Amino acid sequence: NAGVMQNPRHLVRRRGQEARLRCSPMKGHSHVYWYRQLPEEGLKFMVYLQKENIIDESGMPKERFSAEFPKEGPSILRIQQVVRGDSAAYFCASSRIPGLADYEQYFGPGTRLTVT
């Protein structure tokens, strides 16, 4: 009865490298959300995906960031050419179909990204 899984839990990258963060939703959940927690900004929504579709990416930075949720496998948040300002905790959440009476988002343990 696994919950939302994220890996790696900790990731260190040098400036200019790529970071790939993975998220496997809870069993029975087909909707995935990515959030970022920055020390001074709090928790902010980045992107909402269903299988093979990006539904809402209004919170994603316009450059260097991308997300996917393929038909098979986990959701991936990719950050290209990382900069120090990308250092943060990245949380993935999953849910069943949003809008129903019992809709909740359950979070994974997060990936702590450190850019050196």
Partner 1 sequence: AQKVTQAQTEISVVEKEDVTLDCVYETRDTTYYLFWYKQPPSGELVFLIRRNSFDEQNEISGRYSWNFQKSTSSFNFTITASQVVDSAVYFCALISSGYALNFGKGTSLLVTP
The footprint of partner 1 (CB under 8 A) covers 31, 33, 35, 42-45, 48, 55-56, 58-59, 89, 91, 93, 98, 101, 103-110, 112
Strands 65-68 and 10-13: unpaired
Please report, as a single letter, which amino acid is at residue 112: R
10 Å CB burial of residue 17 (0-12, 13-18, 19+) is middle
CB of 14 to partner 1, least distance (A): 23
CB of 79 to partner 1, least distance (A): 19
State the Rg of the chain over Cα: 14
Which CB, 59 or 74, lies closer to partner 1?
A: 59
Which CB, 43 or 83, lies closer to partner 1?
A: 43
The answer to whether the beta carbons of residues 79 and 14 sit under 8 Å apart is no
Which CB, 18 or 56, lies closer to partner 1?
A: 56
